[in-house]
Amino acid sequence: MYDVLIIGAGPAGMTAGVYTARAGYKTGLIEVGVPGGQAATTDLIENYPGFPTGISGSELMLKFFEQTQTFGVEMLYEHVQSVDFHGDIKKVTTNNGTYEAKVVIIASGAHPRTLGVNNEGKFRGRGVSYCATCDGFFFKDQPVAVIGGGDTAVEEALYLTKMCSKVTLIHRRDQLRANKMAQSRALANDKLDIIYDTIVDDIIGTDKVSQLSLSNQKTGEKSILDINGVFIFVGYLPNNDFFPPELDVDPQGYILTDENLATNISGVFAVGDVRAKKLRQVTTAVGDGGLVLHGIENYLH
């Protein structure tokens, strides 16, 4: 029996663990992969305070993890399959058994959206990627495309210019959504081309990706782009496989919380990217992880 059981060891879940364990609550933290979540696959994090020259996502997440261990958070490297949130004692079932807790914090994060174009699934891992730091090196000195116009697409495209011969960013509108600093860096980078108003119709190849078939949304003009890899960054979806039907979520599936990060189910809280919020960053995940303790203490007392 745990006081607090946290599902997901990204920055939000790990911060929540540090806070609850440090406050004296017996805390378990369930993680199916490596601690750190999406932040751990980010090359350089420049907007997390305390690191004036930036820090790699994996290094920052290792520090977060070490801090959970300092305060005695128990790690459970397991896959959550189902939950039972009826009653005062919550139950979480993993591939290894069922755990009980007075409080559950859902910190399961989000995963990249797919583009939904022809051959995307077929070429996943053979030219189609959703992680530049994981796969960029496979395209050293080769041309690649990046799809999307948000912070992730532009920042990852900039990262890819360090190793790829050329990076073509393809965005469906005539204006990028990314922050101004990333935009000006992109415009100043001569290894990065931006194609606006354009969508991908098809990913072409035999055993690996070799071309993209594109169409201009304004002119209707079709074109072919020769590339060896395509990195897709068109937003994220919540990791919600195990959510019970009675949990309130928004139309995209993100968990609705009140200002104490409590969900509509008493004793169940949500933090980080998995909850409906305006800004998904490490700083806001960390803010959630700290704030949730306040709601938990109110609930338990």
Residues in touch with ligand NAP (CB under 6 A): 47, 115, 147-153, 155, 172-173, 177, 199, 233-236, 279-281
Cβ 137 to ligand NAP shortest distance, Å: 20
Packing angle between helix 180-188 and helix 151-160, nearest 10 degrees? 30
Determine phi and psi for 121, rounding to 5 degrees: -70, -40
Select which of 135, 151, 273, 288 is catalytic. 135
Cβ 200 to ligand NAP shortest distance, Å: 7
Cβ 248 to ligand NAP shortest distance, Å: 21
What does the block give as tokens for 254? Answer: 């993100």
- Closest residue (Cβ) to ligand NAP? 150
- The total of other beta-carbon atoms located within 10 Å of residue 160's CB is 26
Collapsed DSSP state (helix, strand, coil) of residue 99: strand
What does the block give as tokens for 282? Answer: 């490490």
Select which of 43, 84, 88, 134 is catalytic. 134
Of residues 235 and 290, the one with the C-beta less far from ligand NAP: 235
What does the block give as tokens for 150? Answer: 């948000």
Of residues 63 and 173, the one with the C-beta less far from ligand NAP: 173
Of residues 178 and 265, the one with the C-beta less far from ligand NAP: 178
Select which of 3, 43, 131, 202 is catalytic. 131
Collapsed DSSP state (helix, strand, coil) of residue 201: strand
Which residues are CB-contacts of 205 (< 8 A; sequence separation ≥ 6)?
119, 123, 126, 127, 211
The amino acid sitting at 135 is D
Cβ 156 to ligand NAP shortest distance, Å: 8
DSSP conformational letter for 265: S
For the question of residue 164 being annotated catalytic, the response is no
Strand positions, DSSP E, 138-178: 143-147, 166-170
Which residues are CB-contacts of 260 (< 8 A; sequence separation ≥ 6)?
269, 291, 292, 294, 295, 298
Of residues 79 and 111, the one with the C-beta less far from ligand NAP: 111
Of residues 86 and 173, the one with the C-beta less far from ligand NAP: 173
Q: Which residues are catalytic?
A: 131, 134-135
